[in-house]
């Protein structure tokens, strides 16, 4: 019974966390490879990522304020 319980905990918690970490790492490697092909430095790549993240958060903030106002 104890072994089944541990396996269930692994499936519910550890497996999704592992899958997400693999996915994030794969995306990072792909983006970095594409940035190198464009002859961009690491700092330029980081700046581009910051711009994308800021745009993402600005849109979510704007949509939340519209929902509250409307």
DSSP code string of 14-41: IHHHHHHHHHHHHHHHHHHHHHHHTT--
Average pLDDT of the chain?
80
pLDDT on residue 12 = 86
Q: What does the pLDDT look like over 40-68, one tens digit per residue?
A: 988 998 888 888 888 878 866 555 555 55
Q: Identify whether residues 5 and 30 lie together within a single domain.
A: yes
Do 34 and 47 lie in one domain? The reply is no
Question: Is 33 in the same domain as 64?
Answer: no
Residues 32 and 21 in one domain: yes
Whether the CB-CB separation of 27 and 19 falls below 8 Å is answered with: no
Largest CA distance in the chain: 56
Count structural domains, the chain: 2
45 and 34: one domain?
Answer: no
Q: Do 29 and 50 reside in the same domain of the chain?
A: no
pLDDT in tens, 3-45: 677 778 778 888 889 999 999 999 889 988 998 999 998 899 8
Looking at the fold, whether 46 and 27 belong to one and the same domain comes out as no
pTM of the model: 0.57
Q: Domain range spanning residue 50?
A: 41-70
Q: What is the DSSP letter of 40?
A: -
């Amino acid at each position: 019974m104890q072994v089944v319980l541990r396996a269930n905990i692994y499936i519910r918690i550890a497996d999704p966390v592992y899958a997400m970490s693999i996915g994030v790492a794969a995306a990072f490697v792909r983006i970095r490879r594409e940035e190198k092909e464009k002859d961009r430095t690491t700092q330029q790549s980081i700046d581009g990522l910051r711009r994308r993240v800021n745009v993402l958060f600005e849109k979510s903030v704007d949509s939340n304020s519209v929902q509250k106002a409307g």
